Amino acid sequence: MAFAAFELAGGNCVELMIKWDATSGAHFEFKAYPHRRRPNNPHLYAGFASIELLVPWAADDREVVERFFHLVGAVQETYPR
């Protein structure tokens, strides 16, 4: 697994993860949480706990970025800070 974590201006934190599964191969996941020191359960936001990005591994970068930013917006809307 590889990941990039970001703390947003309001304090929410989000991660873009690349995970490997022996059966289905590599895929992207997203998770969000309220504080950078608590990136795991039970501190993950409900609805944003390691969800699949639903973008195929072979997708171009733009598709991955658009889906990531869509989810970041959803976090900010659902859990404003």
pLDDT score of 35: 86
Each residue of 30-59: pLDDT tens digit? 999 998 877 666 789 999 998 999 999 999
**pTM flag (> 0.85):** yes
Q: What distance separates the 2 farthest-apart alpha carbons in the chain?
A: 39
**Which of 71, 41, 74 is CA-nearest to residue 54?**
71
